[in-house]
Copies of this chain bind each other. A is one copy, B any other.
Amino acid sequence: MKVYLAGPEVFVPNAREILDRKIEMTRMAGFVPVCPGDLEAPASMTGKARGLVTSEINERLMLSADFIIANLTPFRGIAADAGTVYELGFMCGRGCPAFAFTNTTAGHFERVKDYYDGEVKADASGALRGPDGLELETYSMADNLMLDGAIENRNGVIVRHAAAPGELYTDLTGFKECLAIAARRLLG
C-alpha cells in the first residue's frame, strides 16, 4: 500500500533530511512512501507557473497513493498548514483512509482561546465568541471539526505529541505512532 506523506516539514531548512527519514520509517513499517518532492517542476520554471505545476505534480502523486498521513502541527498561527489540510481533504474526497499527528497537545479550542487572549464570551444562545464575534468550536478536537471528523469517521487517529519548541516540524514521534497504527489497521 502507498501512503502520501503530507506536512509542513517541506518548509524547514533541512526538509530533504526530514523527508528522507519519513520515507525510511514508512518503508520499515511496510508501506510504500509517496511525498511532495518525489517529483519536481523543471528547474527552469519560476514564479506562478512553477507553483501551478508543483500543485499538479503533488495531485498526481496523491492519486497514486492509497491513504494519507498528515502532519497537522499548527503552522504560522493556530491552525494546520493550508497545503496539508487541502491534501487531507483531497485524499478523503477520494475515499481513502487518513491518519494524522500534531506536535502540540493543545487542542483547537485552547489555541483559539489563546489567539483571543482568553477574551471569549457566551452570546445569548450560549455560543462562545471572540471579541470579533466569530464563534469558537467547542468539540475538544485537535483542529477544525472537518479535519478531526474526517479522520476519526474513517477509523483513523490524530496522534497528539508535545514536541520541544525547536522541533515542532522535525519531531517524528507522532508520525511513527501513525505508521504503527496504520500498519495494524490496514495491513493487519
Contact = CB atoms under 8 A, between A and B. Distances in A.
Interface of A: 8, 10-13, 15, 47-48, 50-52, 54-56, 58-59, 62, 75-83, 85-94, 112, 115, 123, 129, 133-135, 137-141, 143-150, 152-153, 169
Contacts of A144: 81-83, 86
Given A51-B137, A83-B144, 16 more contacts: A11-B134, A59-B92, A59-B153, A62-B93, A76-B78, A76-B112, A79-B82, A81-B144, A83-B146, A85-B85, A85-B89, A86-B88, A86-B92, A86-B147, A92-B93, A93-B93
A51 B105 CA distance: 19
B89 A93 contact: yes
Number of copies: 2
A91 B141 CA distance: 23
Closest 5 CB pairs of A and B: A55-B149, A89-B89, A93-B93, A51-B139, A77-B77
A100 to B, nearest CB: 12
Nearest to A52: B149
Nearest to A111: B76
